[in-house]
Amino acid sequence: MREVAVIGGGMTLFRRRLLETGKELSYLATKMAMEEAGIEKQDIDMVVLGSAPDAFDGIHIKGDNLVDGCAAAGKPYVRVFNGGGTGVFAPIAGWWHVASGVADVALVVCEEKMGSCYPHPQTAFRHIWDPILDRPLNPNLVWLFAMEMNRYMTAHDIKKEDIALVAVKNKRNAVGHPCAQLADPNITVEDVLNSEMMAWPVQRLDISPPSDGASALIYCSKDKARQFTDEPVWVAGTGWTIDSTMWTNRDLYFPQYVANAAKMAYKMAGISNPFKEIDIAEPYDPFDYKELHHMEGLLLCDKGQAPILTREGVTQRDGDLPVCPSGGLLGVGNPIAATMGQKVCELYWQLTGKAGKRQVPGDPRVGVGQAWGDIMQMGTVIVLRK
Amino acid sequence: MTFLEKQSDPTSFMHWRGDMQADYLYTNGVAGNRFFAHLKKKDTFLASRCPQCKKVFMPPRMFCEDCFCDIPDKAWIEVPARGTVRVWTVATINAHGKKLKEPKVIALIDIDKTDSAMLGIIKTKNPDKDLFGQKVKAVLRPKKKREGTLKDILYFE
């Protein structure tokens, strides 16, 4: 496999509902990434698009509708999607285009326009279940995550106060993010604990908001990297795993499929002690407990230890292992696939010192990003290194 | 073997009857907002011209997909709501296989003074006529009844 460099990233505003069409959002993110990389459309060999269910944007096979905004018209193109896992899976697919040698320069665009699904994108989630065995019960995704959160809390005797610290950290971290939807410099644990109860133990401020938005990332091969940048950031490892739809038969306290994906990525990256060797982590945080759950899945600590690291400040921006310095999904917003902006573009910006007010001190060199999707099945992991 | 059956009876299997209801509110977009605001008040179309390749898009866009550059507001132009039929077809049955009361003529219309074509319904008393190259003009809703949507273009004739 060839070595692959990241040479540019882009990201639009994340908002509950934006005027821009999905195509226009894709254009804005793509244009920003191209300007950062210093390339034109003709320099791009192939395009990978990541976008989650068609039912959000309300356009079946929506990828084909978005391509004009993704600099893809007239080029080899593919759309990949695995629900919430897409935000890291799309950049994995972009990486293999260059690593395999079929492309020298590949563009990855991730888009989601959840605001189109009206009045609330939750209606789209009603149709992701097995029609015979689940849907007659009219299930809601929050039920599932409430049970997973409850199981995680019970298995390790974790207090809600400790989980709420994640929401507080990420919404505060997002204050420096120009795209952020729910940044809050003054939020407290009490605010989270006093927010509306949705399905025990999940409360309003434990959840990230639906959003419209897009992000983009540009890769190039090692032999071309020096044309574009003096400080390339490399894709050191990738991993992905899907588990059975029978989430009912798994112990929900630990996401084994995330651990499997992480092991695959760490093996490729030559990482044997993730906590010591990784400087920044961007685990998927659509819920506050998921950051902790995924830190454990990413083998950054022992099972049940993530809340303790959080309470001790280890995961703060200036801690030993900054976690979600972008502000994550909880603070910046959750336009499903487009969260590539926080999970992968952020690592690139952090490792190149371009993260502005969000910059992690101490010259970080290795970052891990992760996403999670489908019905508690999919783990996608990427490691970047400079 | 030619499969000619139009209906089968899936209810003969044990089943669960479901739906995939979801409702949508599609925002017009930056370019769409401007285009439809204009269409509400005027009997012409707005188009946008790429500052680099000079291609004129109708419906207009805020960017050129080829040059991958912004199309600034000042590069927008007003064009007449008419054009030339590039290609056409006549539909005689609907999506359920039922015969239409009147054949429906659908055409791709090259809009004058642009490099773009749009899909339109052609109103004609003679649907069997060859329409290649036919000059047509858009018939719009009366101004008072316009909503700022594509439905404001009733048909071409």
A104 contacts A76 by C-beta, under 8 angstroms: no
- Number of other CB atoms surrounding residue A359 within 10 Å: 15
Condensed to tens digits (0 to 9), the pLDDT of residues A294-348 reads 999 999 999 999 999 999 999 999 999 999 999 999 999 999 999 999 999 999 9
For A134, name the nearest residue in chain B, comparing CA atoms only: B16
Determine whether the interchain pair A19/B62 forms a contact, defined as Cβ–Cβ distance below 8 Å.
no
Terminal alpha carbon distance of chain A: 18
Determine whether the interchain pair B29/A17 forms a contact, defined as Cβ–Cβ distance below 8 Å.
no
How close, in Å, is residue B133 to chain A by CA atoms?
28
B113 contacts B98 by C-beta, under 8 angstroms: no
Q: Which of B26, B30, B66 sits opposite A116 (nearest CB)?
A: B26
At A231 the pLDDT is: 84
- For residue B24, list chain A residues with Cβ-Cβ distance below 8 A: 58, 116-118
pLDDT confidence bin for B9, thresholds 50/70/90? confident
Q: How far apart are CA A185 and CA A169, in angstroms?
A: 9
**Residue A107 forms beta bridges with which residues?**
A47, A218
User: What average pLDDT does the segment B79-89 reach?
Assistant: 97
Q: What is the mean pLDDT of chain A?
A: 96
- For residue B26, list chain A residues with Cβ-Cβ distance below 8 A: 21, 58, 116
Question: Does B24 contact A at CB distance below 8 Å?
Answer: yes
The three-state secondary structure class of B88 is strand
Tell which of B27, B55, B69 to mutate to test the A interface (max A CBs under 10 Å): B27
Q: Which of A21, A34, A124 sits opposite B29 (nearest CB)?
A: A21
Q: Radius of gyration of chain B from Cα atoms?
A: 20
B26 contacts B15 by C-beta, under 8 angstroms: no
- For chain A, which domains are there? 4-118+209-385 (3.40.47.10)
Q: How far apart are CA B123 and CA A331, in angstroms?
A: 53
The three-state secondary structure class of B53 is coil
Residue A139 tokens read as 């299930």
* Residue B50 DSSP code: -
**What is the predicted ipTM?**
0.93
The three-state secondary structure class of B85 is strand
Q: What is the mean pLDDT of chain B?
A: 94
Q: How far apart are CA B77 and CA B60, in angstroms?
A: 9
Determine whether the interchain pair A21/B27 forms a contact, defined as Cβ–Cβ distance below 8 Å.
yes
**Residue A372 forms beta bridges with which residues?**
A379
Burial class (CB in 10 A: 0-12, 13-18, 19+), A78: middle
- One-letter amino acid at B63 equals F
